[in-house]
Structure 1
Amino acid sequence: MYIRILLLLLPFGAMAQSLPLTMDKAVEMALQQNKGLQSAATQVEYYRYLTKTAGEVAKTDVSLQYGQYNSYVKNDNHFAISQALPFPTVFGARKQLSKAQEEKAVWFKANTQNELVYQVKQVYMQLLHQKEQKRLLLHQDSLFTTFARSAELRYRTGESRMLEKVAAEGRLNEVKNQLKQQEADAAIFTARLQALLMTNDIPELTESGIPEQNITITADTGVIKNNPYLEYLRQDVSIAEKQKQLLNASIMPDITLGYFNLSLIGTPVDAAGVKMATGSNRFQGFQVGVALPLWLGPMKARVRAEEKQRQAASLNYDNGRTLLKGEYQQAIEQYIKQQHNLSYYKGTALPNAELILTQSQLAYSKGEISYAEHFINMEQVLNIRQGYLQTLLDAKLAALYIDFLQGNH
């Protein structure tokens, strides 16, 4: 019975593995399976547990003293328990520092996720671009195959010279070589996607080509405030500040609390005939002490050093914010540039390319133009189509980069 159930489930499992891959599904797989992101999540848990150690104190000292410490009696005993405690403000400073470290780990995870999603989308778009490139090259292969056959026929019938035939075959072979290069590029991007998704099985991509995307852009660089990398850098400033507060608190005296319980066995009577203590008599008390820092110079130097560390972290944050603003402005300009380029291709270049190809094929078949003219026309059409595909990719990548900088992933 169980074997039948397994056999029924196997086709479904195989079918599920072969389902087409969408970009959203690829992102979902990466978020679930990427080891780098899992490592970042584990770091958050590490600092979360570390926060609970803020109340840690030194080990309790328990001691026993036994022997002749009061008289000739050899079985006197003395029990003592003592505990050293830092100044109470240290506990609060430790907790604040631990929380800042945990917060930094949280933003590190968020930044890792933002980068991972961007990389997955970027590689996914490159694979879609490769699909369109392959489709274009196969079309060109068909065109140049027809061209080569026509040139062969014209050569056999004496209508053209050997040069036309050789040039046509040479260009056809070049297209075939470009197809091999395209296959290699597709394999490279597939391997990258496999590494990001942590899988050896990449199903067929759902989209047949790169979808156009119009995003709402703003020149206000303040939108990058949501980028997790900035928050990650900001936490370094907070950590340095909390570390400084902890060092300041550590200058305060440590406190020692203790309790003792002992016997004071003496001779049966003293000179006046009064009974002395026996083993059943216990004497107890408590002790309180402080540990004072007699040499404050090194401690204050640590505080000053941590202040410099805070200043360095603050400057690093300001530098990171300035660089991100610059990157965002460049990304906006790049996106606008590619959108204008797309408008040119769709409105002018692509329609002209179709017209050039149609008219050139017709004129060449009627003998109205030479092979050289036809060859140049076909090259122009190919360059226009390849330029459009590259512009489409560049526009999409620019949009993805803007989202990445805004922390929208």
Structure 2
Amino acid sequence: MKMTFNIKTDSILFKHTIYIIAVLALITKPINTNAQTNLSLKEAVETGIKNNLGIQASELESKMHNQLTRSAFEVPKTELSGTFGQINSNAKDKNLGVSQSFNPFQYGAKKKWLNENNVAGQLKVKATQQDITFNIRQAWNTMLFYTKQNQLLNQQNLLMEKFVRSASLKFQTGESNSLEKTIAIAKQQELQQLIKQNEAKLWVEKSKIKTLINRDTDFSPADTVFAPMVTLAVADSSRLKQNSNLQLAAQQIQIAEAAKKVEKSAFFPDITAGYAIQSITGTQEINGQSVDYDNALRFQTFSVGIAIPIFAGSTIAKTKAAQSNIEMQQKNAAYVESQLRSQFQQQFEELKTYQSLVDYYQGTALPNAKKISTNATKAYQNGDISYVEYVQSIETALTIRLNYSNAILNYNQTAITIQYLIHQ
């Protein structure tokens, strides 16, 4: 009996010990670092500009162009030469020389060309940042749109749940047939499918944002208010000059002009300067006296020469091609500006149209939707209207609210496009 008592006591103690260890393990378990965090649009844009891989690539390209500006004064390789043997007589002599060629007319032109490419690299960074900001804003606005759509659909689903319960109760009490109950269930299931579709679309937009800002963990929007944005009051197309893509197109003209000067610098001669020292073994007359010299290096010479481009056909062709490139870049810059101006005017006209539509919904349609929904619910509960009229009424109210959120989506997307065009 004593042995049995000890085993039982030990077993109880063991179980209590295990229980305490399990509780301590749950208490001391590290917090999940992958928990969702709140993120605002401003933070998303700032994170995107900092972490986006496309921007980082353009920054590295800009860094490369900046580093290349130091390569303008590129001097050709220095030539070292040696001659050995019977240079001046039967005696064995040697001649050592060094020469250097360069084109002083080319360095300034090449420096200018590299500097213009460096400016273009910086503008490309700005243009990439502008594109990423635009894409983040568009995806963020669409994300809020689907969030709002789901809110409206879930509110409608609550109404349909009450309708299903009411229809089921009427069917059980014999006040209605099974058709009313079937329609109620079908309408609710249809709503639930729409909610699932919206949730999938919402996930897609959040995934876009995570890719744009180079983020692995999930997030929740800090502010889910979906309302029309504050935009410009007047169409000021002069602000298009701030658009980075237009500035980059204009910079391509500067690069092309600088490249032409580099090609033209090839028409100027190359200059060569040299120095040599040699031995002349034998007897030489110096100041009227005969002097015997061994084969030691002692006699020095200096040389200067120029290389003239006599056969300049290739350089002429390259210069003409460079001029054609200038004209092409000028046409392209004019085309980009024309496109931006046209797009700006179109977007501004669309903005006014969507503004009018938003005003209509805020002033007339939404108040009517609220009245329709409230009155239809009361009337159906009191038995004043049929289930068909009730379903039609609340669906009409829902359609108005959904169309209003669609109007906000279109208004905001247009406003974001205008912000992109004027680099705001």
For the criterion TM > 0.5, the same-fold answer is: yes
User: Identity over the aligned pairs, expressed in percent?
Assistant: 30
Residue of structure 1 equivalent to 2:94 = 77
Task: Output one character per residue of 1:219-274: Cα deviation in whole Å (capped at 9) or x when no partner.
Answer: 2322111000001111111111111111111111111111111111126999x993
Distance 1:54 1:367, change over 3 A: same
Distance between the aligned counterparts of 2:228 and 2:146, measured in 1? Answer: 16
| Structure 1 position 194 matched with structure 2 position 207 | no
1:44 offset after TM fit, Å? 0.9
Q: Is the 8 A contact 2:37 2:218 kept in 1?
A: no
Residue of structure 2 equivalent to 1:283 = 299
Residue of structure 2 equivalent to 1:259 = 275
Q: Which amino acid aligns with 2:97?
A: A
Q: Identify the match of residue 24 of structure 1 among 29, 37, 42.
A: 42
1:31 offset after TM fit, Å? 1.3
| Structure 1 position 323 matched with structure 2 position 342 | no
Distance between the aligned counterparts of 1:202 and 1:105, measured in 2? Answer: 33
Residue of structure 1 equivalent to 2:129 = 113
Distance between the aligned counterparts of 2:236 and 2:376, measured in 1? Answer: 49
Q: Is the 8 A contact 1:129 1:209 kept in 2?
A: no
Task: Output one character per residue of 1:123-176: Cα deviation in whole Å (capped at 9) or x when no partner.
Answer: 112222222122111111111111122222223333333322222111100001
Moved more, 204-213 or 105-114: 204-213
Q: Which amino acid aligns with 2:51?
A: Q
Structure 2: give runs of 5+ residues left out of the alignment. Answer: 1-27
Q: Which amino acid aligns with 1:392?
A: I
Residues 89-168 of structure 1 aligned to structure 2 (within 5 Å): 89-168=105-184
Distance between the aligned counterparts of 1:267 and 1:257, measured in 2? Answer: 30
Moved more, 215-224 or 170-179: 215-224
Residue of structure 2 equivalent to 1:5 = none
Distance between the aligned counterparts of 2:289 and 2:120, measured in 1? Answer: 74
With normalisation by structure 1, the TM-score equals 0.92
Distance between the aligned counterparts of 2:63 and 2:297, measured in 1? Answer: 53
Q: Is the 8 A contact 2:344 2:418 kept in 1?
A: yes
Residue of structure 2 equivalent to 1:347 = 363
Q: Identify the match of residue 44 of structure 1 among 29, 41, 62.
A: 62
Q: Which amino acid aligns with 2:156?
A: Q
Q: Identify the match of residue 353 of structure 2 among 337, 340, 363.
A: 337
- Structure 1 stretches of 4+ moved >4 Å: 267-270
Residue of structure 1 equivalent to 2:220 = 204
Distance 1:335 1:44, change over 3 A: same
Q: Which amino acid aligns with 1:77?
A: K
Q: Is the 8 A contact 2:277 2:297 kept in 1?
A: no
Distance between the aligned counterparts of 2:291 and 2:161, measured in 1? Answer: 125
Distance 1:150 1:18, change over 3 A: closer
Tell me, what secondary structure is at the counterpart of 2:38? coil
Distance between the aligned counterparts of 2:341 and 2:284, measured in 1? Answer: 90
| Structure 1 position 53 matched with structure 2 position 38 | no
Distance between the aligned counterparts of 2:33 and 2:181, measured in 1? Answer: 50
Number of positions where the alignment pairs a residue of Structure 1 with one of Structure 2: 395
Task: Output one character per residue of 1:249-305: Cα deviation in whole Å (capped at 9) or x when no partner.
Answer: 1111111111111111126999x9933332346111211111111122221121111
Task: Output one character per residue of 1:315-366: Cα deviation in whole Å (capped at 9) or x when no partner.
Answer: 0111111111111111111221121111111111111001000110111111
Q: CA RMSD in A?
A: 2.1
Residue of structure 1 equivalent to 2:265 = 249
Tell me, what secondary structure is at the counterpart of 2:276? strand
Distance between the aligned counterparts of 1:300 and 1:276, measured in 2? Answer: 56
Distance between the aligned counterparts of 2:398 and 2:76, measured in 1? Answer: 76
Distance between the aligned counterparts of 1:335 and 1:273, measured in 2? Answer: 102
1:14 offset after TM fit, Å? 4.8
Q: Is the 8 A contact 1:21 1:202 kept in 2?
A: no
| Structure 1 position 62 matched with structure 2 position 80 | yes
Distance between the aligned counterparts of 1:286 and 1:238, measured in 2? Answer: 42
| Structure 1 position 240 matched with structure 2 position 256 | yes
Distance between the aligned counterparts of 1:269 and 1:85, measured in 2? Answer: 38
Tell me, what secondary structure is at the counterpart of 2:282? coil
Distance between the aligned counterparts of 1:267 and 1:73, measured in 2? Answer: 11
Distance 1:18 1:370, change over 3 A: closer
Residue of structure 2 equivalent to 1:401 = 417
Tell me, what secondary structure is at the counterpart of 2:39? coil
Distance between the aligned counterparts of 2:134 and 2:321, measured in 1? Answer: 38
Tell me, what secondary structure is at the counterpart of 1:58? coil
Structure number with bigger Rg: 2
Q: Is the 8 A contact 1:108 1:232 kept in 2?
A: yes
Task: Output one character per residue of 1:195-226: Cα deviation in whole Å (capped at 9) or x when no partner.
Answer: 11111113211112224322223223221110
Q: Is the 8 A contact 2:83 2:96 kept in 1?
A: yes
Distance between the aligned counterparts of 2:69 and 2:284, measured in 1? Answer: 58
